[in-house]
Amino acid sequence: MKKLKVLLAFLTIFTLVLAGCGKQEEKTASASKEKKEVKVGTSPGPYSELFLNGVKPILEKKGYKIKAVEFNDLQQADVALADGGVDLNVDQHTAYMENFNANSKSNLVSITPIPTVPAGIFPGKKKSLKDIKSGDTIAVPNDASNAARAYALLQKAKLIKLKDGVELAKATAADIGDNPLNLKIVEMDSAQIPRTLQDVDYGVIPGSIVYASKTDPDSKLLSEDILPHLVLVAVVDKANKDSQWAKDVAAAYQSDEFKDYMKEHNKNDYWFIPDELK
């Protein structure tokens, strides 16, 4: 009889614990499902502006409140994203995200590719690639991902040849196998290149810097072929990947309403549109 009472008491406690856990899980799931305020970490540039002008109105129609939290530095924005200070970032490509994850042991993930402004070769002292001569100077970005884009673009222009087997997304100056015109390739901070164009023959400028510097995008001499790892992505912490609000952000970028917005605001193919958004 005593054993039966002990067993019944144990079963009662076990049932209450299970019920409590179930209610807690239900409460957590409900809270995640019902989240209606999304904090987006913004940075100066075309991608945050595109989100605020083209995607935010779509989400607001679904009842979301979008709060923009400004950052001057993308790394700070990613730290805030990893720590839960913000929910979303739309200013980085996959290569940058993966590098941040590796260095900070974070778990940021992409929820959808987004429109991307290609890097390009821009005129400096010379106005056409047909005018290039031996010993000319080309300014390129000095950060790893954008430098790789620059070397891939210079190879596309047939100005250099990279060594066989080089992964384009990771190309460096050391990977140049042939430089037939003995071009002087000068690495510098991306933001400095537009200001330096008057002193160099050509410059390779990332899309975000073209925007920030108000460089005329129509003056571009050649655009890059954007590699998959360099397409911009909407990024969240992995814990939020399957939340309803994250799915709604991805759906907004992939919606017909956003397609219409891009048709109206993509003069001269300024934006590269990923297949998922076409």
pLDDT on residue 153: 97
Helix 144-156 / helix 94-104 crossing angle, nearest 10 deg: 150
How far is Cα of residue 20 from the mean position of the Cα atoms in its chain?
A: 41
Helix 74-83 / helix 94-104 crossing angle, nearest 10 deg: 60
Q: Nearest CA to 179 among 144, 149, 212, 137?
A: 137
Q: Is the pLDDT of residue 4 over 70?
A: no
CA distance 246 to 257: 18
**Separation CA 40–CA 95 (nearest Å):** 20
CATH number belonging to the domain at 120-226, selected among 3.40.50.150, 3.30.300.30, 3.30.365.10, 3.40.190.10? 3.40.190.10
On the question of pLDDT at 16 being above 80, the answer is: no
What pLDDT was estimated at residue 24? 47
- What is the predicted pLDDT for the residue at 212? 87
pLDDT over 70 at 10, yes or no: no
pTM above 0.85, yes or no: no
Contact 262, 64 (CB under 8 A): no
Q: Which two tokens stand for residue 137?
A: 């100077």
Helix (H) or strand (E) holding 233: strand 232-237
The two domains 35-116+231-277 and 120-226 share their CATH topology (first three levels equal) = yes
pLDDT at 268: 83
**Do residues 205 and 215 make contact, with C-beta atoms less than 8 angstroms apart?**
yes
Report the pLDDT averaged over residues 234-258.
98
Distance CA(210)–CA(228), nearest Å, equals 21
Per-domain boundaries in the chain? 35-116+231-277, 120-226
The predicted structure's pLDDT at residue 28: 42
| pLDDT, position 22 | 52
Measured CA to CA, the distance from residue 60 to residue 72 in angstroms comes to 25
Q: Could you tell me which CATH number the domain at 35-116+231-277 has?
A: 3.40.190.10
